[in-house]
């Protein structure tokens, strides 16, 4: 029995939230007709079940309070899910303010976790790998240098 794009989308939304773009992609993969997909998306948006602002806030909250992510990394992840830059920044800033997120503690936690995974390496290797790990995580060079001094000691 074939389901409609709307019913399929409702089923998906019971598992986790989606952005409009992510939902559209998911429905397109199921080979629904484009006009039916657009109709379903509009209906979901009108009913409030598909809301990019709420999605961005939930996503940012989960990433900041869970594994800990940098602002830049979060913004990139939201962008790939179809969230505009200004909406992403507003959501991230809102979560940081509402939850009193300590960004310095997040990068320090990430650094200490990485350090624990490489205990018997030469100092130069540890520094290089730690710097690279944090840089790929979206942290700025100034933030990385500060936290490296803190967790590794002197220069």
* pLDDT number for residue 102: 87
Distance CA(69)–CA(108), nearest Å, equals 11
Residues of the chain with pLDDT under 70: 1-2, 154-155
* pLDDT number for residue 1: 40
* pLDDT number for residue 78: 94
pTM of the model: 0.80
* pLDDT number for residue 3: 84
Ordered DSSP codes for the chain: -PPPHHHHHHHHHHHS---HHHHHHHHHHTT--HHHHHHHHHHHHHHTSS-HHHHHHHHHHHHHHTT---HHHHHHHHHHTT--HHHHHHHHHHHHHHTT--HHHHHHHHHHHHHHT-TTS-HHHHHHHHHHHHHHTT--HHHHHHHHHHHH---
């Amino acid at each position: 029995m074939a389901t409609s794009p709307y019913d399929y989308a409702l089923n998906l939304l019971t598992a986790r939230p989606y952005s409009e773009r992510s939902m559209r992609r998911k429905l397109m993969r199921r080979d629904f007709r484009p006009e039916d997909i657009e109709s379903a998306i509009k209906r979901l948006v009108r009913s409030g079940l598909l809301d990019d602002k709420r999605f961005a806030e939930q996503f940012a909250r989960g990433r900041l309070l869970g594994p800990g992510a940098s602002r830049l990394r979060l913004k990139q992840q939201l962008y790939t899910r179809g969230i505009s830059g200004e909406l992403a920044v507003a959501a991230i800033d809102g979560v940081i303010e509402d939850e009193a997120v300590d960004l310095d503690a997040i990068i320090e936690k990430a650094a200490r976790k990485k350090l624990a995974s490489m205990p018997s390496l030469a100092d130069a290797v540890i520094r290089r790998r730690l710097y690279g790990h944090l840089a790929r995580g979206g942290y700025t060079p100034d933030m990385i240098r500060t936290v490296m001094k803190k967790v590794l000691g002197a220069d």
